[in-house]
Amino acid sequence: MFYAEDKRATLCISCQVGCALNCSFCATGKLGLVRSLSRAEVVEQVRFALLETSRRGILLKSVVFTGEGEPTNNLQAVLDSAAIISDPQLFAISARNITISTAGNAPVIKKMALNPLQFRLAVSLRARAPDNRLRNQLLMPINGIWNVDAVLDTAFDYHSRISVEYALMRDINDTQEHAFLLARSLNTRASWAHVNLIPLNEIEDSDYKSSTANNTALFQNILKKRGIFTTLRSSKGQLIDGGCGQQLAAKVRDGDEHVQ
């Protein structure tokens, strides 16, 4: 599915059916891993979207691996398909407009750095609050293996400019203290990060709730005052049962047109 604004669209694609990472707030995580997609299946999502966008007079400008699945768990197919998508003779979407989003597998991010094509990297901190106490609640079990500092260090080794995706959950990771900790965590590294703040996409039978507007605004202001670029996303994903329950919603922006 893609999201279009001013006749330019961002396409969100999946690399797996389901996901093995089992994040406790995520609808896809509850499925478990069904299977990984082949590179042809990944590319097919782009081919189909290109047909649809050109039919509607929309330019497909960027592609984000933020649908179902964890890209580092299907890395070869992700890199192969991204190479095809960026090939000027084929889909011709610039590598700098292709973003691979990971929940944070540090060794695999290191492997990505060896790839000749450097795609953009987005690190999903989401439910990972930036303090150890909360991290250890294992909202994202992978967090127990590679902590936030390890993931950020590896991500900044990969590239000096990254995106950080942070899902705001009410009374879980949306307090001012968490904002201060996140800001410090980013500012202690001599690099550049753009933080996408994402209201949680609430799923059925889950205790996790989206942050309030007031808490979200306070959180964002703290980051901004510390010189961190932020964008507040709006979450329309719940209207469409978007794949990951989080990741698809991350790319739906205020005022964007959602097209299926």
Asked whether position 106 contacts ligand SF4 by CB under 6 A, the answer is: no
Closest approach, Cβ 257 to ligand SF4, in A, equals 24
Closest approach, Cβ 243 to ligand SF4, in A, equals 7
Q: In the chain, which residue ranges form alpha helices assigned H by DSSP? A: 27-31, 39-55, 75-86, 106-112, 132-135, 148-158, 176-187, 213-225, 247-250
- CA dist., res. 17 & res. 243, Å (int): 9
Residue ranges in 54-73 that form contacts with ligand SF4 under rule CB under 6 A: 68, 70
Which of 71, 120, 247, 250 is close enough to bind ligand SF4 by CB under 6 A?
247
Neighbours of 72 (CB within 10 A): 23
- CA dist., res. 106 & res. 149, Å (int): 10
Asked whether position 12 contacts ligand SF4 by CB under 6 A, the answer is: no
Nearest to 16 by CA among 63, 64, 105, 77: 77
Task: Kindly tell me which of 183 and 244 has the beta carbon lying closer to ligand SF4.
Answer: 244
Residue ranges in 155-214 that form contacts with ligand SF4 under rule CB under 6 A: none
Task: Kindly tell me which of 50 and 172 has the beta carbon lying closer to ligand SF4.
Answer: 172
Asked whether position 28 contacts ligand SF4 by CB under 6 A, the answer is: yes
Which of 12, 13, 26, 83 is close enough to bind ligand SF4 by CB under 6 A?
26
Angle at 150 between CA 147 and CA 155, to 5 degrees: 120
